[in-house]
Amino acid sequence: MNSIDNDSLVEIRQSVRRLCSQFPSDYWQKLDRERAYPTSFVDALTRDGFLSVLIPEKFGGSGLGLVAAAAILEEIHRSGCNGGACHAQMYTMGTVLKHGTPEQKERYLPQIASGALRLQAFGVTEPSSGTDTTRIRTFARKEGDKYIINGQKIWISRAEHSDLMVLLVRTTSREELKKPSDGISVLLIDMRDAIGNGLTIRPIRTMLNHATTELFFDNLEVPVDCLIGEEGKGFKYILDGMNAERILIASECIGDGRFFIDRAAAYASERLVFGRPIGQNQGVQFPIARAYVQLSAAAEMVNKAAAMFEAGLPCGSEANMAKMLASEASWYAADMCVQTHGGFGFAEEYDIERKFRETRLYQVAPISTNLILSHVATHVLGLPKSF
């Protein structure tokens, strides 16, 4: 349990803002045009310890906890930067921390904390299963002291910029078991050995710069000691980690929303049309105010979910609700900001169209809004299950 005090949180936010000010608009615009990875930005965050706040001190991190991690990502996004290139370095290691053997923790966590090893690829989604994770087909067959992996993953972000990957596979087929979520296992793959030896990575160009890829496994051999936790119990392990991911993505949305509101309020105050600032018209003012109201409510839910996570309380519903509210609030703010800027909202140099594209992702990934509504309907409200 960690609960960071307010003064330290203010200090962290200021430090992140200082760091981000060294990576201005033209840095992000160039990367966006070239779909290139923000290496120097990620290096700076790593050097200043911002990506290791969830790793306990005994393994070389600062152990500051999820509230601090959420504040870091919020400030990155509020500054106009994008944490999507490295946010997973913060939380993907949670599976090793929570379910790894003492030997696995010693071997990996200190190096992840220092940035010597990057663990920021998380391989779950497959083309044929989509959101229905228990239908994944990527299969790891045990042979002696090895697993032999065959299958395919899609939308696996940062795979080309990661040394390790947490990979979800089937070790027993769904048909052989009563419970669909049994028979799924988590493997920690060393991609440096795997690429070219059974693992092929193919980048996918998307509407935003997110370094996402498709992965092909063709008889990839990995040692059995890369199994995390118990074989066949992996589905439960990744559900744990997903709460942290959803809360942190929600904080990025809060940061995006604040970026859009800051920009819209500033522009509406200075842009003169019909001899007065456009923000003097209530038709322009009210959408900005509405975006602020919606974002403030979403931020409260994010804070609640983060506090519950840190206290070790079950927070699946709160993490989901936080992610849904924050992604919708940031999207409303994005649309409002484009409208407030008129034609300039579409100009690359204003960054608004880039952030607009970036924040749209979060209603689909890491989990889409319908699936969150389905969780709330069936798990919270007890409505009949539809699948």
Ligand X SMILES: Cc1cc2nc3c(=O)[nH]c(=O)nc-3n(C[C@H](O)[C@H](O)[C@H](O)COP(=O)(O)OP(=O)(O)OC[C@H]3O[C@@H](n4cnc5c(N)ncnc54)[C@H](O)[C@@H]3O)c2cc1C
Residues contributing to the site for ligand X (CB under 6 A): 122-125, 130-131, 155-157, 206, 210, 212, 361, 364-368, 370-371, 374, 386-387
Q: In terms of CB distance, is 4 or 220 closer to ligand X?
A: 220
| Token pair 């840190």: residue | 310
Instruction: Give the amino acid at 195.
Output: I
Least separation in angstroms between residue 252's CB and ligand X is: 13
Least separation in angstroms between residue 358's CB and ligand X is: 10
Least separation in angstroms between residue 351's CB and ligand X is: 19
Largest CA distance in the chain: 79
Least separation in angstroms between residue 125's CB and ligand X is: 4
For the CA atoms of 300, 301, 307, 308, what is the dihedral angle to 10 degrees?
A: 150
Least separation in angstroms between residue 154's CB and ligand X is: 7
Instruction: Give the amino acid at 5.
Output: D
Evaluated on CA atoms 148, 180, 98, 90, the torsion sign reads positive
Q: In terms of CB distance, is 125 or 172 closer to ligand X?
A: 125
**Which among 209, 85, 206, 199 has a CA at the least distance from the CA of 149?**
199
Identify whether the C-beta of residue 151 lies closer than 8 Å to the C-beta of residue 197: no
Query: Which tokens hold the place of 226?
Result: 């890369």
Burial class of residue 211, CB neighbours in 10 A (0-12, 13-18, 19+): buried
Q: In terms of CB distance, is 233 or 357 closer to ligand X?
A: 357
Q: In terms of CB distance, is 131 or 150 closer to ligand X?
A: 131
Q: In terms of CB distance, is 254 or 361 closer to ligand X?
A: 361
Q: In terms of CB distance, is 147 or 362 closer to ligand X?
A: 362
Identify whether the C-beta of residue 334 lies closer than 8 Å to the C-beta of residue 360: yes
Residue with smallest beta-carbon separation from ligand X = 130
Least separation in angstroms between residue 292's CB and ligand X is: 28
Least separation in angstroms between residue 160's CB and ligand X is: 12
- What is the rounded CA–CA span in Å between residue 113 and residue 126? 29
Q: In terms of CB distance, is 177 or 365 closer to ligand X?
A: 365
Please name the residues in contact with 45: beta carbons below 8 A apart, sequence gap of 6 or more. 19, 51, 76, 86
Please name the residues in contact with 227: beta carbons below 8 A apart, sequence gap of 6 or more. 147, 185, 186, 187
